[in-house]
Amino acid sequence: MLGYFRPKKCLLSKEDREFYKAMYCSFCHSIKKNHGLTTTLFLQYDLIFLLLIIDSELDLFSHGRVRDKRCLFPLKKVSCVSENSLLDKLSDLAIFVVYTYYLDKKIDGDDYRVKDKLIHKLIKIKGNKSFKGLKNIKGIKEKLVAGMKLEEQREYSPDYRISFICDLYANLVVDNLGLVDLEVDYYKVAYNMCKVMYYLDALEDFKSDRKNGEVNILFDLNTDLDQIVGYVRNKLISALAEIKGSLLFNKNKKIIENIIEIHLQGVFNKFRKELLMEN
């Protein structure tokens, strides 16, 4: 369910491609610094999208202020934006989001798979110290479990079933990144980002979830596949309109619009075709 919010790089200008790559590399270095080299394997494009929006309002990272750092993948120097405490806070959030993936598998009874055990081991879940930048980690984990159990309640609408997790994610973003008293409504942005990820994930995994008897928020709509695809399309249009309507676009406009209007549309079309072609 991670990694949908990324640009179609071939359609970006050279300057925007280089700036996006610098943001990506900076985020990766922050994760390595705070959580170790192996955890950089779980870097998420979705949080870079959020970083672009924050930078658009606060102008934290200048296109001209970059410096080179050594990277192991590949073995060469890469350009990074100027360091900022926000990157460290975001790296803590990134690792916790990956942890939610592991926890979701555990609740579904899939935690004995080798891949999930590897994720658990690499993230090194060891209580509060593993997420030093997150507040009240124990309470967050309890809310996460409650939200995942609500997702399984098939008598409710898809929007309601994911509302607890989307609310938790949005509050994590706002509270732990300190995004309060600003012009952009970051709660609304993060909530609708989570909503987009949920619906795309449900569409992508629809057939495999049905085959394996796993939870999927689209199963109980009592309609045919064409209508389910249309339902997801409408949910995505609404959520992305909420995100775009909240933005200032002081900078990074073309990158953000590329992600919202081109790449995410392409992702939806890919999943739609795969689902309808197989039936």
Q: Which is it for the CA torsion 166, 172, 175, 181, positive or negative?
A: negative
- Residue 126 pLDDT: 39
Where residue 185 sits, what CATH number does that domain have? 1.10.600
CA triple 207-242-28, angle to 5 deg: 70
- Residue 242 pLDDT: 97
- Residue 275 pLDDT: 92
Among 146, 164, 240, 244, residue whose Cα is nearest residue 200: 240
With respect to residue 4, please indicate whether it lies within any of the assigned structural domains.
no
With respect to residue 184, please indicate whether it lies within any of the assigned structural domains.
yes
With respect to residue 236, please indicate whether it lies within any of the assigned structural domains.
yes
With respect to residue 1, please indicate whether it lies within any of the assigned structural domains.
no
pTM of the model: 0.89
Query: In whole angstroms, what is the distance from residue 205 CA to residue 207 CA?
Result: 6
With respect to residue 72, please indicate whether it lies within any of the assigned structural domains.
yes
What is the span of the domain harbouring residue 146? 9-277
In contact, 248 and 56? CB cutoff 8 Å: yes
Six-digit token string for 266: 């392409």
Number of domains in the chain: 1
Torsion of CA 95, 98, 103, 105, to 10 degrees: -160
Q: Which amino acid is at 235?
A: K
With respect to residue 3, please indicate whether it lies within any of the assigned structural domains.
no
- Residue 184 pLDDT: 95
With respect to residue 2, please indicate whether it lies within any of the assigned structural domains.
no
Per-residue pLDDT of the chain (279 residues; tens, 9 = 90+): 578 999 999 999 999 998 998 888 888 888 888 877 777 777 879 999 999 999 999 888 765 555 566 665 655 677 777 777 888 888 888 877 777 766 666 665 554 455 556 666 665 543 344 455 566 667 777 888 899 889 989 999 999 999 999 999 999 899 888 899 999 999 999 999 999 999 999 999 999 888 888 889 999 887 899 999 999 999 999 999 999 999 988 899 999 999 999 999 999 999 999 999 855
With respect to residue 110, please indicate whether it lies within any of the assigned structural domains.
yes
In contact, 57 and 185? CB cutoff 8 Å: no
Alpha helices in 71-185 (DSSP H): 85-108, 114-123, 137-151, 158-177
Among 85, 80, 47, residue whose Cα is nearest residue 66: 80
